[in-house]
């Protein structure tokens, strides 16, 4: 159990035990109301079997963390995380309702308690279905977001300049399933952007994750080229390496995979893109985030000797960088980021989209503005951790530059 504090293990499994006990308590209360003995027996055996299977999976996982941490095949990790969400989250909702149902019984009666438990069971089943949908359907349901940006100082030749932004592909999370990237390449080909940018996290940890996806990465094109930066996962910081040389080799292979696919990698540097007798300066920085995320970005180095009157677009993986460094220290009009995945979960009501991630990272997705400087946060194409998306579809962003016409 190296790397996992024993105090955490005690707390986690105590919580799981209490959760399973209370939820079973409520479940038995409902089942006891039926007069069909065989049904009660079969459904109880089924319920207990699922609980034992899920708990056994958690015990094995926590007892053998290296199986997950060091594996280049994420299949087992995905099974464990999926089981955790599918088993524990609905039971948490049901357990809370079970505890609350007893005061209801004391003050109103048994019938009211059973109604409360029945409603809670239906709600928990609904959560189970939503999570299942997010894992098996939601993560593959691509969404094309289109936005126009208006700038007074945009060269007239760039009016209508179209970019496609991809971010957080996390190829390892797809295993050998190329469908999302294949569909993305077809969509990008149909859009025919002037420029294509990738704002980090091509992999989870390892360069091997790119294997098999090369044809589709190469198929992603832009008329004036395609550029990429690195995200926090691209450095291999979340794996334990036998030595520094192995980690550096992995990083070089990831960079080689990107350049072999036709991307120009920007590592704290800028590049001029010549367009219709004018130009854009594309600036790319390495990852910068609030701790514990690494801070490799050197914005001063990336801006060194850049033409002062050029129109600038910054690629910076973590949106926290924009708020902490870009807005206070520069006049860059447009920054493109990713990193957040929009929390991979959202609630939508009356056309309003809200992610609980806001309470941790307020710049979680979409468009932001401060003193005439804009940030767009792409919600990502892949997943990390929870292998699904609930009301937070994988995103391909189409960004069109517009010039504010003088009146």
98, 229: one domain: no
We report the CATH number of the domain holding residue 253 as 3.60.21.10
166, 43: one domain: no
Task: For residue 79, give Cα distances in angstroms to 227, 326, 380, 387.
Answer: 34, 40, 22, 9
Question: Does residue 294 contact residue 235 with C-beta atoms inside 8 Å?
Answer: yes
pLDDT at 4 over 70: no
* pLDDT level of residue 3 (50, 70, 90 thresholds): low
pLDDT computed for residue 341 by the predictor: 97
94, 192: one domain: no
Q: What integer is the mean pLDDT of 224-230?
A: 97
* Percent over 70 (pLDDT), the chain: 98
114, 146: one domain: no
126, 151: one domain: no
Q: Using the 3D structure, point to which of 119, 136, 153 is the last residue of a domain.
A: 136
Task: Residue 32: name the closest of 41, 21, 22 by CA.
Answer: 41
* pLDDT level of residue 61 (50, 70, 90 thresholds): confident
264, 116: one domain: no
Longest dimension (CA), the chain: 82
pLDDT computed for residue 406 by the predictor: 54
224, 329: one domain: yes
Residue 89 zone, left/alpha/beta (φ > 0; ψ -120 to 50; rest): alpha
What is the separation of C-alpha 182 from the centre of its chain, rounded to a whole number of angstroms?
A: 19
Task: Residue 216: name the closest of 173, 169, 252 by CA.
Answer: 169
Question: For the segment 175-220, what is each residue's pLDDT rounded down to a tens digit?
Answer: 899 999 999 999 999 999 999 999 999 999 999 999 999 999 999 9
Q: What integer is the mean pLDDT of 358-375?
A: 94
pLDDT at 153 over 60: yes
Q: Using the 3D structure, point to which of 121, 136, 151 is the last residue of a domain.
A: 136
275 vs 361: CA distance, rounded Å: 36
Q: Using the 3D structure, point to which of 94, 118, 136 is the last residue of a domain.
A: 136
Sign of CA pseudo-dihedral 202, 207, 209, 215:
positive
- 33-37, 128-132, 251-255, 301-305: segment of lowest average pLDDT: 33-37
pLDDT at 294 over 80: yes
Q: Is residue 394 part of a domain?
A: yes
pLDDT computed for residue 407 by the predictor: 46
Q: Is residue 1 part of a domain?
A: no
49, 152: one domain: no
Count up the domains in the chain and report the number. Answer: 2
Question: Does residue 380 contact residue 341 with C-beta atoms inside 8 Å?
Answer: yes
Q: Which long-range contacts (CB under 8 A, 24 or more apart) does 24-32 make?
A: 24/48, 24/51, 25/98, 26/94, 26/95, 26/97, 26/98, 26/101, 26/117, 26/120, 26/121, 27/94, 27/121, 29/98, 29/101, 29/113, 29/114, 29/117, 30/114, 30/117, 30/118, 30/121
What is the separation of C-alpha 140 from the centre of its chain, rounded to a whole number of angstroms?
A: 13
132, 162: one domain: no
129, 175: one domain: no
pLDDT computed for residue 308 by the predictor: 85
Q: Is residue 83 part of a domain?
A: yes
Q: Is residue 200 part of a domain?
A: yes
State both tokens at 34.
Answer: 């039926």
Residues of the domain holding 334: 142-403
């Amino acid at each position: 159990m190296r790397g996992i504090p024993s105090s955490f293990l005690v707390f986690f499994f105590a919580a799981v035990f209490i959760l399973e006990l209370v939820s079973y308590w409520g479940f038995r209360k409902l089942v006891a109301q039926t007069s069909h003995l065989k049904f009660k027996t079969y459904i109880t055996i089924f319920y207990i079997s699922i609980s034992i299977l899920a708990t056994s999976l958690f015990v094995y996982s926590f007892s053998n963390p290296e199986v997950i941490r060091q594996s280049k095949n994420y299949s087992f990790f995905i099974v464990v995380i999926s089981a955790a969400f599918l088993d524990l989250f609905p039971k948490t909702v049901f357990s809370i309702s079970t505890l609350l149902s007893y005061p209801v019984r004391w003050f109103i009666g048994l019938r009211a308690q059973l109604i409360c438990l029945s409603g809670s069971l239906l709600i928990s089943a609904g959560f189970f279905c939503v999570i299942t949908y997010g894992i098996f359907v939601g993560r593959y349901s691509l969404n094309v977001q289109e936005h126009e940006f208006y700038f007074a100082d945009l060269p007239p030749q760039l009016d209508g300049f179209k970019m496609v932004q991809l971010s957080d592909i996390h190829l390892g999370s797809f295993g050998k399933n190329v469908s999302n990237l294949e569909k993305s390449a077809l969509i990008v080909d149909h859009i025919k952007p002037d420029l294509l940018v990738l704002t980090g996290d091509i992999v989870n940890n390892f360069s091997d994750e790119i294997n098999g996806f090369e044809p589709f990465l190469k198929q992603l094109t832009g008329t004036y080229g395609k550029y990429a930066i690195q995200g926090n996962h691209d450095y291999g910081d979340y794996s334990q390496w036998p030595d520094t040389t192995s980690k550096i080799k992995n990083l070089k292979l990831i960079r080689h995979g990107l350049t072999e696919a036709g991307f120009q990698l920007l590592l704290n540097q800028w590049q001029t893109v010549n367009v219709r007798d004018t130009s854009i300066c594309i600036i790319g920085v390495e990852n910068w985030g609030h701790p514990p995320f690494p801070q490799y970005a050197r914005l001063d180095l990336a801006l060194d000797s850049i033409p002062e009157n050029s129109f600038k677009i910054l690629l910076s993986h973590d949106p926290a960088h924009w708020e902490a460094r870009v807005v206070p220290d520069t006049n860059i009009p447009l920054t493109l980021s990713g990193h957040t995945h929009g929390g991979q979960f959202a609630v939508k009501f009356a056309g309003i989209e809200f992610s609980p991630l806001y309470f941790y990272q307020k710049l979680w997705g979409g468009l932001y503005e401060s003193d005439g400087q804009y940030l767009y946060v792409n919600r990502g194409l892949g997943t990390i951790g929870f292998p699904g998306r609930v009301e937070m579809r994988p995103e391909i962003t189409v960004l069109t530059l517009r010039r504010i016409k003088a009146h």
